[in-house]
Structure 1
Amino acid sequence: MIAVLDEIDRNIVAMMQVDATLAYADLGERVGLSASTINDRLKRLRAKGVIRRVSAEIDPHALGLDLMVIVLVEVTGRAEELAFITAMQAVPAVMECHHVAGEFSYLLKVRVASTAAYEHFLDRHLKTLAGIRRTQSLIALSSAKDSRVLPSQAPAEMG
């Protein structure tokens, strides 16, 4: 289990989520620490798995990935479920794969160029798998909010 973060770590994490290119000196100035102390804290946060990776957030439309589809998938059988998970992890168009409660087994977030590309995804990556009982596709027309930034305040402060 990951340790609970103190207020300074939470502030550092919040700023890193918004702009991971901030210089350590800038981060330190904002939280009242030296650049070397920021460096030490970031190393510790990485070592503990709090910061899993630092990457660039790319506009999907810039890559021609104009269609986002939420796919609900019902999978039957444990062996089929494990094969499904392995298959989805290997498909770049699958941005997220979540095991969910309810009528369906999994929720996928899929990014592709078009409805034709989505049909190809279904034909090649879902319909070919054993144990897929049914799917339901929800095409996003627009996104009022699409964020990967996690709330960083303490759980008691969230509302």
Structure 2
Amino acid sequence: MDEFDRKIIAHIQEFGRSSYAEIGNAAGLSVSAVNERLKKLERQGVIAGWAARIDPNAVGCRILAFVHVMVERPEHEPAFLELVRQEAAIQECHHVTGDWSYLLKVRVADMAALERLLAQRIKALPGIPRTQTVIALSSAKEAAALPLPAASE
């Protein structure tokens, strides 16, 4: 990945709906060069997909919670990870160090939905002896854009 690719990625992270001409202006490239580089970045998996960023409150996902999950034994992980993949309310799942096995980022409509997810879906799985939930009161920052290293790094 060169400096042109970094400029393209930085631009589309902030302005995803830009035309190829606008991206080209930001990166100092022609429309055809932008087209080719975007295709290459997708083939390489650098660009993993395209999506709109939606305001969670606008679509009724008013509760943001972070859930630590303890998975008792390795043989219980496949069922847990399958639930994670299937459950739309679970936005992120991270295998973590420390006292817990996983950290989930969850968005739901209300406390009743959070309780159902925890009690009827997650804790109902075998090998999940406990969870710990932290509810976000507000969010000062949420960013989808990644910090891009400079070419020299």
| Shorter-normalised TM range | over 0.9
Q: Which moved more, 1:146-155 or 1:77-86?
A: 146-155
| Residue in 2 that maps onto 1:89 | 85
Query: Unaligned regions of 5+ residues in structure 2, if any?
Result: none
In structure 2, how many angstroms separate the alpha carbons of the residues matched to 1:17 and 1:42? Answer: 13
Q: What is residue 6 of structure 2 aligned with on the other side?
A: 10
| Aligned partner letter, 1:91 | E
1:153 CA displacement: 2.9
Residue 156 of structure 1 deviates from its aligned partner by 5.9
Match among 122, 125, 150 for residue 129 of structure 1: 125
CA RMSD of superposed structures (Å): 1.2
8 Å Cα contact 1:100/1:107 also seen in 2: yes
- Name the CA distance, whole Å, in 2 between partners of 1:86 and 1:145: 29
When residues 60 and 23 of structure 1 are mapped into structure 2, their CA distance, relative to the original with a 3 A threshold, is same
**In 2: Cα distance, 1:142 partner to 1:29 partner:** 37
Q: How many residues align?
A: 153
- Mapped partners of 2:77, 2:67: distance in 1: 16
Gaps spanning 5+ residues in structure 1: where? none
- Give the residue type in structure 1 aligned to 2:138: S
**Normalization by structure 2: what TM-score?**
0.96
Of 53, 59, 64, the residue aligned with 1:57 is 53
2:53 aligned with 1:67: no
How has the CA–CA distance of structure 1 residues 95 and 155 changed in structure 2, closer, same or farther, with 3 Å as cutoff? farther
Amino acid at match of 2:149: Q
Instruction: Give the TM-score normalised by structure 1.
Output: 0.92
**Is this contact kept in 1: 2:84–2:90, CA < 8 A?**
yes
AA paired with 2:64? Answer: M
Q: Following TM superposition, where does structure 1 have runs of at least 4 consecutive aligned residues deviating by more than 4 angstroms?
A: none
Q: Deviations over 1:5-40 (max 9, x none)?
A: 211101100111111111101111122110000000
- Aligned-pair identity in percent equals 47
Contact 2:11 2:26 in 1 (8 A): no
Counterparts of 2:70 and 2:122, CA distance in 1: 11
The 8 Å contact of residues 68 and 100 in structure 2, kept in 1 or not, is answered as yes
One-letter code of the match for 2:140?
Answer: A
1:98–1:155 distance in 2 versus 1, CA, 3 Å: farther
SS in 2 for 1:132: coil
Match for residue 27 of structure 1 among 23, 26, 35: 23
